[in-house]
Amino acid sequence: PIRVEDLVQRVRTVLAPLAREHEVRIELSGPTDALLEVDAARLEQVLLNLVRNGIEASPPRGAVSLVWERRNGEHPFRFVVEDDGPGLSAEAIRRAFEPFFTTKGNGTGLGLYLSHAIVEQHHGRLLLGNCPGRGASIAVELPESEPERMHENAVLHTDH
């Protein structure tokens, strides 16, 4: 298992130069003892994509928050990324997981597409919406732990 706090601290460290350039704060909040049985590198890629999108969407002196929590239900572990940008249009929400769909002039349109695929490989869900009074709100919901299936998937995907 990985320590979630270590993972999100790495995300903040990697994106700190971009956040400084955009004058945007990255705020982290969640239980310091949280552990998760996941492919750390792939989940880090997802969180990097989501937080990077939030930084690029937020105005100067804005903030991107990355919150993690445990809940009850089928997907008991949840990350939520919220930004201070303009939010997501209905079309952006509908088409976000299509390859090459982008609302950014310099974007490839692959970030959310790949993030969605990674989250699904972890038997989770990626949910898009808007946060009243803020901008976009993106949730990554994951099962607590499925190590056997994770290793099977890892083997299947490395044979290509």
How confident is the model over 97-154, as pLDDT tens digits?
888 887 776 777 788 999 999 999 999 999 999 988 899 999 999 987 644 444 444 4
Per the structure, the count of domains in the chain is: 1
100 DSSP β-pair partners: none
Domain that includes residue 99, residue range: 2-158
- pLDDT top residue among 51 and 74: 51
**What pLDDT shows up at residue 59?**
97
At 75, which CATH number?
3.30.565.10
The pTM of this model reads: 0.86
Average pLDDT over every residue of 22-28: 98
**What tokens were used for 52?**
């990077």
Q: What is the per-residue pLDDT for 145?
A: 62
141 backbone dihedrals φ, ψ, rounded to 5°: -110, 130
List the Cα angle 27/32/33 in 5-degree steps. Answer: 155
Amino acid at 6: D
The pLDDT value recorded for residue 152 is 42
* Short-list 101, 120, 103, CA closest to 56: 103
Written as six digits, the tokens of 30 are 């969640």
